[in-house]
Amino acid sequence: MDNKIDIKNIPVDVKVHKTDTGVNKYNPRDRIYVRAVKGLHQRLRRNMGFIFMGLFMLLPWLQFHGQQAILLDIVEQKFNIFGMTLWPQDFTILAWIFVIGAFALFFVTTFYGRVWCGYLCPQTVWTFIFIWFEEKIQGSRNNRMKLDKDPWTAGKVWKKALTHFCWLAFSLLTALIFVGYFTPVTQLFVDFFSFDASFWAVVSVLFFMFCTYGNAGWMREIMCTHICPYARFQSAMFDKDTFTVTYDAKRGENRGPRSRKDADYKTKGLGDCIDCNLCVHVCPTGIDIRNGLQYECINCGACIDACDDTMDKMGYAKGLISYTTEHSLEGRTTKVVRGKLVGYFLVLLAVCAAFGWTLVVRKPVMMDIVRDRGALYRETNEGLIENTYTLKIINKSQVEQTYLLSVSGIDELNWIGDQELTVQGGETANLPISLALDPVHANKPVLDIEFVLQDKDEPEVTLSQGSKFFSAR
């Protein structure tokens, strides 16, 4: 019986595109000049970027019941999100949101590759905005390359200074809006530009301003290729049925230039790729997609639009570079519905259901019972046994609520203090009260009682909290 294992020779010679052969090969910022490109995918990317950029800019300014709709107040340890206030005890809700985001990202990546990176990642969106400033001030890709090689003149200084001024101005706006999620945004803008802002507000704004300026203006693709961990583990979610930006080597090779009128180029051994390198020029990470799938690729589709435009001008069929799967390139059927994708989807549904259930069962009010730490009990002049408590009521909604308070467990207990309390939206109120009991009704040293809270306007909202009543016996 032949037990030999077939050996397959795997080529180890990998061609990697190099955009600069100079000595300073570890300074990619100086060697990647992104060329502007138009097309379906870039329109989609820009429109999605505008929508989410608009949401980012506008959300802090929205008002809800006279208050900032979204205010993540870290100092006060409460997050106001429209009609809901989240306290540290509610951080499981935030945890569910992050888990949902993670599995949604896994699901989308398994199906369509790194489209999050190419279309919605803040690093990508802000980078393209900064490149837009470059194009409007310094000109096209070739003009920017020429400008960097030219000696320093008044014109070059003006263009560079104006570019960096626009970068810093947009970074400042970004930082103010971002910090405005954590402090009242209107007051922040007024105080900042009137030089009346607090020390930590100024430090926070300047910190995020220079982070934005550095990331989108200078680091750019370094964030995607060297710093972002997502680029490193994304391949674990890929399979042969994942749609990724791919070059069809069977159709494109051998690549080479030719005339538009050259109809018999295939008889010369040439493929459809004319080796124009536009796919490299438009790539924000500076890779050559023709070298195969690379972890630097962010699936933005810029090379697809550039290649489709070239194919259209040459009179060739589009799709030399496209969103496709490895199985499709091999001539096999792509399995859209498959185990891994279904698994991520089911987990995502389960997590969403858990998040929804957490919101449904969440009470819009919370109550803590704090006993008097000075004494377990005391005897009044009337001979009654008295226990003192402080009721801490937290209104988790953002509207004023009135609550009715009572106690159960011992019918003969006398309530000393207010039994109706009004609490402002998102605020905490402390109510000191006492409970008194005739010793005749105290049949043991420690009695179980239960404080009951009920919303006056919404009686279905009730909350109970157990405690103890200490007697003299």
Task: Give me 352's structure tokens.
Answer: 């969403």
pLDDT value at position 262? 83
Give pLDDT tens digits for 31-47: 689 999 999 999 999 99
Q: Is 442 left (phi over 0), alpha (psi -120 to 50) or beta?
A: beta
pLDDT value at position 80? 87
pLDDT value at position 26? 44
Whether the bond between 414 and the residue before it is cis, its omega within 30 degrees of 0, is no
Residue 222 in contact with residue 34, Cβ under 8 Å? no
Give pLDDT tens digits for 53-72: 999 999 999 998 888 999 99
Helix H, strand E, coil C: the string for 147-212 is HHHCCCCHHHHHHHHHHHHHHHHHHHHHHHHHHCCCCCHHHHHHHHHCCCCCHHHHHHHHHHHHHH
What is the rounded CA–CA span in Å between residue 102 and residue 357?
A: 19
What 342-349 contacts at long range (C-beta under 8 Å, 24+ apart), as own/partner pairs, is 344/103, 344/106, 344/107, 344/110, 345/107, 347/103, 348/100, 348/103, 348/104, 348/107
Q: H or E segment at 449?
A: strand 446-455
**Secondary structure (DSSP) of 251-269:** HHPSP----TT-TTGGGGT
**What is the CATH number assigned to the segment(s) 365-470?**
2.60.40.10
pLDDT value at position 226? 85
Q: What are the helix and strand counts (H, E) for the chain?
A: 15, 16
**Secondary structure (DSSP) of 76-129:** TTEEEETTEEE-GGGHHHHHHHHHHHHHHHHHHHHHHSSHIIIII-HHHHHHHH
Look up the pTM and report it: 0.82
Task: Give me 348's structure tokens.
Answer: 């995502």
> Each residue of 181-208: b (16+ CB within 10 Å) or e?
bbbebeebbebbeeeebeeebeebbeeb
Query: In degrees to the nearest 10, what's the CA dihedral of 57, 63, 64, 70?
Result: 40
Give me the residues paired with residue 454 across strands. 404, 462
What is the rounded CA–CA span in Å between residue 221 and residue 19?
A: 13
pLDDT value at position 28? 46
Give pLDDT tens digits for 85-100: 888 888 888 899 999 9
Residue 106 in contact with residue 115, Cβ under 8 Å? no
Give me the residues paired with residue 468 across strands. 448
* Sheet architecture: strand order including 84-86: 70-73, 78-81, 84-86
Question: What residue spans define the domains of the chain?
Answer: 33-86+121-219, 365-470
**Cβ neighbours for 109, distance < 8 A, ≥ 6 positions apart:** 115, 116, 234, 237, 238, 242
pLDDT value at position 71? 92
Enumerate residue ranges in the chain where pLDDT < 50: 1, 12, 14-26, 28-29
pLDDT value at position 23? 44
Q: 10 Å Cβ neighbour count for 286?
A: 20
